[in-house]
A and B are shown apart, each in its own frame.
Chain A
């Protein structure tokens, strides 16, 4: 079990020894080579994950809709992703006549870069992290906010009004949902006492989603919106703005947007695993396997949500962020800070119980407030109808 657990670390150790002792290279050179190889592996991992995720998404989604899904090439159609890739590569590359050509070509690349950069901070297993940044959480948020610029560049340079509308929606959506997302991350940081993602995993003897279900709910919801996945897929709502910001893209450039979407999906699911589900910590199986299992469970949940919910209306989506998630996130951070500080000296079990019960209380209060507000708005509408008659 230990051999399996440290499998990749041992391979890395062997490789470093090979470079530094057998080939007797200088330490600096070895660091540079290892850095380049690590970066390449992480970037390729993202692309390989896209192949797996597109297949999984299509298969699970069609099962949810009572269809079979891809079933032509290979057993259960597992080579479908390869067909898609070849199709994308051979499609005609169309650039609109009045597009800003430089930015039009730059936007898909700008889209993929931040998605790949996210992998640098993800702890895949014990000691398996690209770079253990002391500001890991903040790094993830900062890199995530770059997507907005890429999307706006794509929407604007296409010289298409639907593209521009999609870009406008992106700003409204990404910027709004960034706030509850950061606030729920802050409660995790508060509890851990560190912004390093490695520390966050190591300190979760009890996974954070048990201690802070409210923060978990807020983060998962906001992450879904940041990814632009259904029910928050307003930025590419096909029935309203015909795919939005990437309306004019075709062939490989379109594929890059697709790629970025799925690379992001895996990275964000990995972040949820890291921050709330205990990362690679769990008994019996090796840590890195647990990380992937948990991440794929989160991704399955995302696909499930996509299959179950209709798309939000844009005003509802913004109201949901500003009038529900942001106040709830603020209340949550106050509750976590208070409980954590008041019970600083008591045992871990007491603290965990107090955190969980205060969170449940917060959920009950929230549901009561929401029910009251809903009843009131229904009454107002009802009175307006009755009054009109």
Chain B
């Protein structure tokens, strides 16, 4: 077993333990912190794959922004801070079925379809991944990038319009 594999197992364990805390903990605040732990594991996996930019962006956006937003939403919602919050609602049967089906599809694809044919690139790692990414965003993928920016801007303005006092 190489060092990378050992690190991979540790990081995967961190991710999975975090995910388990999210779904099993009755205390919503602790569940949110479990999610932070899980995101950290994923960031570590990115770093392991030499994708430094993705790792840092994961920390910045998912932990620094989204998790804080979720924690804030939890704090501002009444009665949800109780230590004994109910974990499921009456749609749990349907969601369990959907999750099971999704798991089945992914498991089937991984086990029988692509098991022996993972495409592996021979090309070496780019030395300046960040510069290449930035250039791709303003040349090849300029349109999707701009559309995403406009979408976010609309969401921003919409949130302000909805929340503003009349």
A interface residues (Cβ-Cβ under 8 A, vs B): 28, 100, 102-103, 133-135, 138-139, 141-146, 148-149, 152-153, 156-157, 164, 167-168, 171, 175, 178, 195
Contact = CB atoms under 8 A, between A and B. Distances in A.
Contacts, number: 69
A195 B56 CA distance: 12
A260 B29 CA distance: 23
Given A100-B27, A142-B60, 7 more contacts: A135-B53, A138-B56, A138-B57, A142-B59, A142-B64, A146-B63, A146-B64
Nearest to A167: B75
Contacts of A145: 59-60, 63-65, 68
B67 A149 contact: yes
B7 interface: no
B71 interface: yes
B33 A153 contact: yes
Given A148-B64, A152-B71, A135 B33 contact: no
Contacts of B75: 152, 156, 164, 167-168
Top 5 closest A-B pairs, CB basis?
A145-B64, A142-B60, A142-B59, A138-B56, A135-B56
A98 B26 CA distance: 17
30 contacts: A100-B27, A100-B30, A103-B29, A103-B30, A103-B33, A134-B53, A135-B53, A135-B56, A138-B60, A141-B60, A142-B64, A143-B59, A144-B64, A145-B59, A145-B64, A145-B65, A145-B68, A146-B64, A148-B68, A149-B63, A149-B67, A149-B71, A152-B71, A156-B29, A156-B75, A168-B75, A171-B72, A175-B65, A175-B68, A195-B130
Contacts of A103: 29-30, 33
A167 B3 CA distance: 40
A102 B30 CA distance: 10
B165 interface: no
B72 to A, nearest CB: 6
B36 interface: yes
Contacts of A138: 53, 56-57, 60
B122 interface: no
Nearest to B83: A100
Contacts of B130: 134-135, 195
A149 B64 CA distance: 8
A387 B93 CA distance: 66
A171 B71 CA distance: 10
A149 B52 contact: no
Contacts of B4: none
Q: Is the interface of A mostly helix, strand, loop or mixed?
A: helix
Chain B interface residue count: which class? 20 to 34
Contacts of A164: 75
A145 B60 CA distance: 7
Contacts of B29: 100, 103, 153, 156-157
Contacts of B116: none
A5 B49 CA distance: 36
Contacts of A156: 29, 75
Nearest to B27: A100
Given A149-B68, A167-B75, A134 B60 contact: no
Contacts of B59: 142-143, 145-146
Interface string B128-140: 1110000000000
Contacts of B129: 134
A157 B30 CA distance: 10
A133 B59 CA distance: 15
Interface string B17-29: 0000000000101
A171 B68 contact: yes
A103 B52 CA distance: 30
A239 B68 CA distance: 27
Contacts of B36: 149
Given A149-B71, A164-B75, A133 B52 contact: yes
Interface in B4-62: 27, 29-30, 33, 36, 52-53, 56-57, 59-60
Contacts of A141: 60, 64
